[in-house]
Amino acid sequence: MTTPLAPQGLPAHLVGFVGALRKRGIPVGPSETVDAGQVVAVLDLLDRDVLRAGLAAALLRRPTHRPTFDGLFDLWFPAAIGARSVDSDELELPRDAKGELDLDAVRELLANLLIDDSAEASLLASQLVEQLGQYQSANGPSFSAYQTLRDLKPEELLQKILQGLLQRSGAGKDDPDGDVASEVARRTAAQRIADFRTMVETETRRRSAERLGKERVAKYGVPKQADEVDFLRASDAELALLRRSVTTLARLLATRLAARRRRARHGEIDLRKTLRKSMSTGGVPIDLVTRKPRPGRPELVILCDVSGSVAGFSHFTLLLVNALREQFSRVRIFAFIDSADEVTRFFDPNADFAKAMWRIMNEADVIRYDGHSDYGSAFGVFLDKFVGTVTGRTSVLVLGDARNNYRDPNLAAVRALVSVSKHAHWLNPEPRNQWGSGDSAADEYAEVIDMHECRSAKQLTAVVAGLLPI
């Protein structure tokens, strides 16, 4: 007998879904929960697309929460329970004379469904997960999206799907718009393959949740929010999503900084003048006299490791700081690997950051020897070539994981930077429990300069908000 999806009733099931959203950091309050209940009461529960859209409208406050919401929605409101039955004979998986799955024929069927953009591709994905993705684990039968897609290799169908789309559109070589049509077809084919991969992954999570429990699968199978993704483990798609969120984070930080400046506008109490003024009121300090705050915005110097191991973290942080340029009187950026060079010229307000990072690697003098990170050498070069850059009005930010390949960390150079600057902080994308392990010199540097763990955009935003000088 099949276990009911909501054994304690739909209201309790909805509350459980809301609780799962909260556990993943999505703020959902009582009023949103009540709205969601009203949505469920009026919508057709058999139309999952409408139900998904309605609950998203009621529960979400930011568009960046949508990927996490969709992953949890598919677990709490699955398309089916158990193996999905297929009524159409056309979707029976092709088999050879021995009764084994004919992968070539399956790939042909998949290509035709994707060319037609058929809704039956979802049913095919469920059957393939059942046939190709099932394996025996220590806890019993389980399912693997990787195993399904490994045998199917849908990426190799790109050219076939592309040709089918071009034939359907009627675009030819002599067509003046042929190049445009070809590019549109190529992107459409790539997107449909990506959508099919998503179908397989969704089906795998659904079947796994039935065996392991949806709460357990939600911990590892649902995408993290963009600001919680680990910089050092982020995929290209996750990094792209992070880069799109930079403007929002910068606006948030700028607002916090403006509020701190307003609070500091009146300056500290001038005790001597306050006591003198209180003589007119019998010694009672009714009116406080404050010192004038020092005008001017601080200078910022960034020392950024651009080696491959921390490139994603450095790229995102530079994007964030560049968006905050107007909060500082001057921003100077220095990149390094085993040597250091100023790269401020590559980061004007309208710069293409991908191009800027490419220019750093090809035009800046950041590699002197073998191209492996050498923090000690880079700090030494910085002091030799740019000794006058850091002054008593300068705030210094060092970006890097402090993995020095067992070379001299040159702590004296870092001490010199810290002693001259107004503020000096190091932002490290590695977990704190890994500092000092292997070739990491983070624990040595942390004794000289304030070092902060910044593994995700959420941590980075919190740290930078607290460190921004006024």
Q: What is the pLDDT of residues 178-231, one digit of tens each?
A: 577 888 888 898 899 988 998 888 888 888 888 888 888 888 778 777 777 777
398 phi/psi in degrees, rounded to 5? -105, 130
Mapped onto helix, strand or coil, the DSSP state of residue 324 is coil
DSSP secondary structure string, 74-97?
HHHS-S-SSSPP---GGGSPPB-T
256: its two tokens: 């916090």
Distances (CA, A) of 230 to 177, 223, 455, 459: 43, 12, 5, 10
- Rounded to whole angstroms, how far apart are CA atoms 52 and 59? 11
With CA atoms as reference, report the closest residue to 209 among 50, 70, 80, 21. Answer: 80
With CA atoms as reference, report the closest residue to 342 among 327, 351, 350, 332. Answer: 332
Instruction: Return the pLDDT at 255.
Output: 75
Q: What is the DSSP letter of 310?
A: G
Instruction: Return the pLDDT at 1.
Output: 42
Mapped onto helix, strand or coil, the DSSP state of residue 290 is strand
- Rounded to whole angstroms, how far apart are CA atoms 198 and 86? 20
- Rounded to whole angstroms, how far apart are CA atoms 276 and 393? 33
pTM over 0.75: no
Do 464 and 246 form a contact (C-beta atoms < 8 A)? no
Do 343 and 305 form a contact (C-beta atoms < 8 A)? no
Q: What is the DSSP letter of 269?
A: B
- Rounded to whole angstroms, how far apart are CA atoms 319 and 310? 14
- Rounded to whole angstroms, how far apart are CA atoms 320 and 309? 19
Instruction: Return the pLDDT at 261.
Output: 63
- Rounded to whole angstroms, how far apart are CA atoms 399 and 441? 14
First to last CA, the chain: 65
Distances (CA, A) of 62 to 58, 116, 218, 402: 11, 34, 20, 35
209: its two tokens: 């949740």
Mapped onto helix, strand or coil, the DSSP state of residue 145 is helix
Segment 368-390, tens digit of pLDDT = 888 888 999 999 999 999 988 89
Q: What is the mean pLDDT of each run of 10 residues along the chain (470 residues)?
A: 64 90 89 92 89 93 85 88 62 78 86 87 86 78 84 86 82 59 87 90 86 83 76 73 72 70 64 83 79 66 86 78 73 91 82 79 86 91 90 88 92 93 90 92 94 86 70
